[in-house]
């Protein structure tokens, strides 16, 4: 069962991300951390893993080292370690995109199970959103991403490989199916939203 610690993390995540929206949309960013936490719980994750899922982007996007210290103080070293394991940087400005992503993929090959679970839930929700938006908006979607179409496709296929290296998992299977569909659609001539 979830207790007051989860409630406190939900309130803290809501405050941290209150002014954020998902890339290129008006969707509140909180929807992403809620979906990530839901996937973690559906996969049998612990309360600590679900709390880390709520906070997985806090260090990277909302304050760096100072936010990490707040998380450590409020929720403990274990949750802070999971959040750290899901962050590709805490530096502002962020280092070059491709370097960060290559380091993150390499890190996943030896990451602890809790980090893998939260990271996988995060990327699965992101991939679902990419697929949905690609179907709705066409190729203009790729302008939202620092890696563009080519880099984003490379990154998500590499993520599948890194997660798959740890063995079978239903979320990895689903991520693989979604990435395959994104790749299929990206290879087709899709109309831009303005052409619909």
Q: Which of 51, 53, 110, 45 is nearest to 86 (CA)?
A: 53
Q: Which of 48, 9, 7, 54 is nearest to 32 (CA)?
A: 54
Handedness of CA 15, 16, 19, 21 (dihedral sign): negative
Q: State the maximum Cα–Cα separation within the chain, in Å, rounded to a whole number.
A: 51
DSSP 17: T
Sequence-distant (6+) residues with CB within 8 A of 18 are 30
**β-pair partners for 179:** none
| 102 included as an active-site residue | no
Sequence-distant (6+) residues with CB within 8 A of 2 are 47, 50
Which of 61, 84, 169, 174 does the annotation list as catalytic?
Answer: 61
Which of 48, 60, 122, 133 does the annotation list as catalytic?
Answer: 60
| 69 included as an active-site residue | no
Q: How far apart are CA 188 and CA 138, in angstroms?
A: 10
Helix (H, G, I), strand (E, B) or coil at 21: strand
Active site residues: 60-61
């Amino acid at each position: 069962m979830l207790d007051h610690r989860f409630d406190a993390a939900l309130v803290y995540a809501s405050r941290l991300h209150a002014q954020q929206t998902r890339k290129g949309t008006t969707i509140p960013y909180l929807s992403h951390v809620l979906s990530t936490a839901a996937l973690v719980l559906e996969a049998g994750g612990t309360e600590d893993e679900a709390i880390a899922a709520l906070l997985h982007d806090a260090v990277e996007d909302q304050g760096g080292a100072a936010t990490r210290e707040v998380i450590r103080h409020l929720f403990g070293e274990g949750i802070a370690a999971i959040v750290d394991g899901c962050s590709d940087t805490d530096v502002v400005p962020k280092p070059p995109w491709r370097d960060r992503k290559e380091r993150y993929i390499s890190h996943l090959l030896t990451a602890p199970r809790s980090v893998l679970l939260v990271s996988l839930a995060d990327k699965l929700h992101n991939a679902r959103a990419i697929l949905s938006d690609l179907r709705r908006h066409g190729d203009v979607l790729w302008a939202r991403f620092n890696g563009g179409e080519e880099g984003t496709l490379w990154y998500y296929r590499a993520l599948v490989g890194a997660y798959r290296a740890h063995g079978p998992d239903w979320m990895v299977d689903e991520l693989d199916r979604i990435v395959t569909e994104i790749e299929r659609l990206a290879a087709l001539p899709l109309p831009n939203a303005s052409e619909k």
